Amino acid sequence: MEFVRINSSDNNYFDDVMNIYKVSFPIFEQRTIKDQMDVLKDDKYNCMAVCESNKLVGILLYWDLDNCKYIEHLAISPSIRGKNYGSRILKEFCENNETIVLEIDPPVDDISIKRLGFYSNLGFKLQEFEH
């Protein structure tokens, strides 16, 4: 896997990354394209196009904070979901980084329970406190 950092909207992957972003998350969880372009200027923010054999397979958006990497969004291209790309991306990311934090919706329905299982199978632990 190759992780390609997107620093501006001029990057060749930007439009495709934003398309995956737009179709993968509810509108209330998304930044506007303008806001996304603005946050790309922050050195702590990492908008990664994840590629295999020069083909975009997914996106990983995270913050490089002082004491951890905070994953904000992970999504796979809709046409290739269910082929273990998400697991492979996170495993590689975890191998190269120490403390990783991510947030998911509370596990209250089938989708959110499945999501919790996905992350738990990759070694993530559920913190049971409200925030």
**CATH number, position 75:** 3.40.630.30
pLDDT digits (tens, 9 = 90+) for 38-86: 999 999 999 999 999 999 999 999 999 999 999 999 999 999 999 999 9
Is the pLDDT reported for residue 14 higher than 70? Answer: yes
Q: Is residue 40 one of the residues assigned to a domain?
A: yes
| Opening angle at CA 73, ends 46 and 26, nearest 5 | 135
pTM for this model (two decimals): 0.91
DSSP state of 88: H
Cα distances (angstroms) measured from residue 54 to each of 13, 23, 47, 51, 85: 11, 22, 17, 6, 14
How many structural domains are present in the chain?
1
* CA pair distance 78, 60, nearest whole angstrom: 14
Q: Is residue 130 one of the residues assigned to a domain?
A: no
Containing domain of residue 50, as a range? 2-121
Q: Is residue 55 one of the residues assigned to a domain?
A: yes
Is the pLDDT reported for residue 31 higher than 90? Answer: yes
